[in-house]
Amino acid sequence: MNKLVRLLLRWKLLAVLIVVAGFVIGRLLGRLIPAPIIIALFAFLFLIALFFYFFSDRILLRWYHAKELNDENSPLYKITQRLAKNVGIQVPKVFIVHSAMPNAFSIGRNAHAGIVLTDALIDLLDDEEIEAVIAHEIVHVRNGDVFISTIVAVLSGILTAFATFAFWLSIFSGFGQEEDPAPNIIKFFFSSLLSPISAFFVHIFVHRSREFVADEQSVQIHGKTHKLISALEKIERELRENTHEINPAHAHLFIINPLHENEIELLDFHLPNYNALFQTHPKTQERIERLKRIGEGEEKKEKEAEKKEKEEIMTEEKEEKPKKRLKIRKHLFFSLLAYILVLFFIIVIDTFERKDFDFKRAAAISFLYLFALSFIFSVVWSVLRAKLNECSR
């Protein structure tokens, strides 16, 4: 009860600060934006933040049609309960998702966390391997990784979902005839617009190192390094052989990234599918090699291997880096084309509203738009290039 009172007081204090800040900004910009509008905007943003804070995990559970495991006598619940007590956290809820994709992820916040397992994962792994996977997710919960990753998955997932929404909307609007490329063109257009921004937010808040930490600390909990290794190998093998459709902005949640980087063939053109921008996990083989070195307990060998690995990366980067940059440039090139097309639509709409084409006005709009676009793309490009180069090693 005391914790709840303190939490309410903090939120009230934050609300007061937001209202005061909105009032001050409104006074300073009173000639442009009335103070009540500024306050209302801050209040609206505050309500949105509250909504995602409390309901992001529920949105993801609904997204994947997850069903809570209520049987406390279930082996999965007992494993989760035992591992949670070993690390000193409240027992997370266990959810099952009916999916052909063997994978797992954790969601929620602090005492309201949950672990989600697919039934394909349960069928694929033996009991000890499942325990190793649950221990990995338990570590994510204990380390506080899941709260931010859950909110990012929902926010970025909503952005990328617009492409699928536009695809089905175009079909239901009459573009769904046989061999009609319009729905796929529309989907690719919205993916080009939204995927780089969505991937940018994912990479800002999700770091590849957290998987290494979760792997290593989970081994300390269940004490069976070889079982986590075999679980990762089985999941990786199945995901590599089969394609599973998920929202790409959710890929960072899973224990192994299930996305494939296949290109899209559209009107005889080979176009990127933008899944490559959402690679936040280190290579599975790199994770396995680290676990093997931990299992062997050869610290000296580990240091020598890391040194050798760094030297190999430095030599390979000279040959591979241009190829990787070209791959990223291809994605952002089509995104840039999509945003320029948006500029064209803006000028056309403005011309129709004014019922006259004003060259100076169109030039001013274009200059401001392209200036903002160049700044945003330079930031997105630098972040994605750095993060993706890390994950591709």
Residues annotated as catalytic (active site), given as ranges:
137
In the block, residue with structure tokens 């934050």: 14
Asked if 220 contacts 111 with a C-beta cutoff of 8 angstroms, the reply is: no
Q: Which residues contact 219 (CB under 8 A, 6 or more apart)?
A: 132, 135, 225, 228, 291, 294, 295
- Which helix or strand (DSSP H or E) is residue 25 part of? helix 2-28
CA 166 vs CA 155, 319, 378: distances in Å: 18, 39, 27
Distance, in Å, from the CA atom of 367 to the CA atom of 328, rounded to the nearest integer, reads: 26
Distance, in Å, from the CA atom of 107 to the CA atom of 148, rounded to the nearest integer, reads: 9
Beta bridge partners of 67: 96
Asked if 302 contacts 156 with a C-beta cutoff of 8 angstroms, the reply is: no
Q: Is 275 exposed, middle or buried (0-12, 13-18, 19+ CB in 10 A)?
A: buried
